[in-house]
Amino acid sequence: MTPINPSFRRRQFLVGGGAALFLAGCSSAGSSTSSNTSTGTAADPAITSTGGTTGATTTADSVAPTTDGFNPLWIPPTLTGTDLQLTIAASTVQYKDGAATATLGYNGEDFWGPTLLMTKGSTVRLNVTNQLDEETTTHWHGFHIPAEMDGGPHQTIAANGGTWSPTFEVKNNAATFWYHPHMHEQTWSQLNRGAGGFIIVQDDEEAALALPRTYGVDDIPLMLTSRSFDSDNAFVLTEVTPYGDEMLVNGTLKAEATLPAQLVRFRILNGEIERVYNLGFEDGRTFHVIGTDGGLVNAPVPVTRLLIAPGERYEVVVDLGTDAVGSMVSMQSFNGGQTFGFPGGEDAGSGQTFGSTLNNTTFDVLRISVIAATAEAITTLPTTLANNTYWTAADATNERTVTITDTGPGTPFTFDDQGYDMEMINQTVTLDTVEQWTIENGRVFSHSFHIHDVQFALVSRSTGPVGEHENGWKDTLYIFKDESVQFVAKFDDFASTDHPFMYHCHMANHEDGGLMGQFLVVPA
Ligand SMILES: [Cu+2]
């Protein structure tokens, strides 16, 4: 078997190296229209990407294929501007010999979609066109926006050409967000086929810092997931196979990134259905967390391992400055020997119930091949990154508890014994209230709790101290089996008596199974 990278097909279109403009809205399934342009200089204060034409996509993917079975990491092209067209369509990827694998992508990509670049304070309009023969939605994960613009299960986009056009001010801090389907009971299916994309928000505070910021060169988005393939090369999706047997990074099988010998920033998204990653490097090197879901942390946090649950993002910086040009180092996930209830800790072995060859073991996530440093390399991390003041328990003027429940082995997980019902409002919050939410998980398994609308401060874990690296704005948290956690958030700006926000487990199989509730933020 020769796994083929999605970008391999794209590369065949790279004639003459010219920057081919992608015509927004004119995508067709399976076409490969990404251009291959070099990136700009690292001196730009804003994130660097070429082809800054409004509505245009560019890509920094210009890495030569490798010869020993690894595939060059695909870097999604960027899409900039304030009036953006996103079109989701069916496609295929030739991952294996034989039949192509059916996939979904946005704007002509075969799997995943362009990276949207947005600036804090700007007002954006998105036109999302659905070329699928099924309904979908597009959720702007982590964004603080009105509920009717949020892209949850109520904002469906009609099949076969429907368009939804939300508009909102970008109020979030500079950070890494993502967009993905949030279709009622179809999130797993649509995510599994590859629908999603990154959003990078930029702001003046982040831009003033000497951080790696050249997209695709020293600033690399990494969407981590895995898939299993059936005998016809289709992605497997059954109730007992939420874990894939093969690692995909940005949709690339057995990915290798060619990176310069300097500080490199990774914007890591766990895009899995269920697996949690316990990330590190094969040589045990220390790396630094610089950002959580909703923004920069106040100071870099050194780590050697980093747990990241589905839906979570961490921005990290790894120092390749002392790695020899031509050397290799692998990012790995150290998922062996975890305690019972760790998602992906079940016994390895494809075909077993909930099994996967990547379960309960250490496996390669991304191979890094080191090349010479760039001319304007960042070589030292700033000691101070931000000056956030986080909410504390003392700030909260209202409290509520949400409990993860089920009715016994084999039954779906629910919140408070109530499966998700589109017609039921589970919580009502008064606008401008600072609330403390306690999430109780006494059940058999760990989960990934995500709440829309707000960025919260994680204030306590019953199992021990909140990790230093978690001390930042977050919208998603990993909750262990038999744990309760508390977070504090202010529910400001957007009230509605009609349009709810969601809170749910970001393990898409659990979400689709009913582990989701909805809340209204009502006027005071
Ligand atoms: Cu869950």
Is residue 402 within 8 Å of 442, Cβ to Cβ? no
Is residue 108 within 8 Å of 22, Cβ to Cβ? yes
Please check whether residues 141 and 21 belong to one and the same domain: yes
Range of the domain at 451: 393-522
Ligand 1 centroid to Cα of residue 172, in Å, is: 26
Ligand 1 centroid to Cα of residue 95, in Å, is: 29
Q: How many CB atoms lie within 10 A of CB 325?
A: 12
Please check whether residues 65 and 153 belong to one and the same domain: yes
Domain presence at residue 386: no
Please check whether residues 425 and 453 belong to one and the same domain: yes
- Mean pLDDT, the chain, integer: 89
Please check whether residues 338 and 293 belong to one and the same domain: yes
The number of distinct structural domains making up the chain is 3
Q: What is the pLDDT of residue 351?
A: 64
Domain presence at residue 333: yes
Q: For tokens 């991304």, name the residue.
A: 366
Ligand 1 centroid to Cα of residue 273, in Å, is: 10
Please check whether residues 47 and 159 belong to one and the same domain: yes
Q: Which one, of 295, 352, 362, lies nearest residue 331 by Cα?
A: 362
Mean pLDDT of 371-382: 97
DSSP per residue, 261-316: SSEEEEEEEE--SS--EEEEETT---EEEEEETTEEEEEEEEES-EEE-TT-EEEE
Domain presence at residue 1: no
Domain presence at residue 213: no
The residue from 324, 341, 371 where one domain ends is 371
Q: What is the CATH number of the domain that holds 506?
A: 2.60.40.420
Ligand 1 centroid to Cα of residue 392, in Å, is: 26
Pairing state between β 414-415 and 501-505: unpaired
Please check whether residues 203 and 234 belong to one and the same domain: no
Q: What is the pTM of this model?
A: 0.90
Ligand 1 centroid to Cα of residue 272, in Å, is: 12
CA quadruple 21, 151, 91, 240: dihedral, nearest 10: 150
Q: Provide the edge-to-edge strand list for the sheet that holds 414-415.
A: 414-415, 398-405, 433-441, 483-491, 457-461
Residues 6+ apart with CB under 8 A from 487: 436, 437, 439, 456, 457, 458, 459, 474, 477
Q: What are the tokens at 197?
A: 């994309």
Q: In this structure, which amino acid lies at residue 486?
A: Q
Ligand 1 centroid to Cα of residue 516, in Å, is: 9
Q: What is the pLDDT of residue 67?
A: 62
Domain presence at residue 467: yes
The residue from 164, 183, 207 where one domain ends is 207
The CA-atom distances, in angstroms, between 366 and each of 212, 246, 280, 477 are 19, 12, 11, 24
The secondary structure of 432-474, three-state, reads: CEEEEEEEEECCCCCEEEEECCCCEEEEEECCECCCHHHCCCE
Q: What is the pLDDT of residue 408?
A: 82
Domain presence at residue 383: no
Angle at the Cα of 226 from the Cα atoms of 515 and 415, rounded to 5 degrees: 5
Ligand 1 centroid to Cα of residue 253, in Å, is: 26
Please check whether residues 48 and 105 belong to one and the same domain: yes
391-439 pLDDT, tens digit per residue, is 999 999 999 999 999 988 888 999 999 999 999 999 999 999 999 999 9
Q: What is the pLDDT of residue 14?
A: 28
Ligand 1 centroid to Cα of residue 197, in Å, is: 22
Please check whether residues 166 and 121 belong to one and the same domain: yes
d(C-alpha 105, C-alpha 210), whole Å: 34
Helix ranges (DSSP H) in 136-186: none
Ligand 1 centroid to Cα of residue 163, in Å, is: 31
Please check whether residues 16 and 136 belong to one and the same domain: yes
| pLDDT > 70 fraction of the chain, expressed in percent and rounded | 87
Residue 63, pLDDT > 70, answer: no
Please check whether residues 91 and 113 belong to one and the same domain: yes
Ligand 1 centroid to Cα of residue 506, in Å, is: 6
Is residue 388 within 8 Å of 473, Cβ to Cβ? yes
Ligand 1 centroid to Cα of residue 445, in Å, is: 8
Ligand 1 centroid to Cα of residue 58, in Å, is: 36
Q: What is the pLDDT of residue 410?
A: 80
Helix (H, G, I), strand (E, B) or coil at 192: helix
Mean pLDDT of 159-176: 98
Residues 6+ apart with CB under 8 A from 49: 39, 40, 58, 60, 78, 80, 117, 215, 216
Residues 6+ apart with CB under 8 A from 403: 415, 416, 439, 440, 441, 442
Identify the band that residue 88 occupies on the pLDDT scale cut at 50, 70 and 90. Answer: very high
Ligand 1 centroid to Cα of residue 483, in Å, is: 13
Ligand 1 centroid to Cα of residue 101, in Å, is: 27
Ligand 1 centroid to Cα of residue 495, in Å, is: 28
Ligand 1 centroid to Cα of residue 207, in Å, is: 36
The residue from 179, 207, 235 where one domain ends is 207
Please check whether residues 183 and 292 belong to one and the same domain: no
Is residue 517 within 8 Å of 414, Cβ to Cβ? no
Ligand 1 centroid to Cα of residue 443, in Å, is: 10
Residue 8, pLDDT > 90, answer: no
* 3-state helix vs strand vs coil in the chain, percent to 5: 5, 40, 55
Ligand 1 centroid to Cα of residue 308, in Å, is: 14
Q: What is the pLDDT of residue 28?
A: 30
Domain presence at residue 384: no
Mean pLDDT of 476-504: 98
Ligand 1 centroid to Cα of residue 412, in Å, is: 10
Ligand 1 centroid to Cα of residue 446, in Å, is: 7
Helix (H, G, I), strand (E, B) or coil at 72: strand
Ligand 1 centroid to Cα of residue 380, in Å, is: 39
Ligand 1 centroid to Cα of residue 500, in Å, is: 21
Domain presence at residue 380: no
Please check whether residues 132 and 238 belong to one and the same domain: no
Ligand 1 centroid to Cα of residue 404, in Å, is: 9
Residues forming a β-bridge with 303: 287
Mean pLDDT of 252-264: 98
More confident residue, 490 or 38: 490
Mean pLDDT of 38-52: 39
Ligand 1 centroid to Cα of residue 343, in Å, is: 9
More confident residue, 68 or 440: 440
Mean pLDDT of 50-67: 44
Residue 181, pLDDT > 70, answer: yes
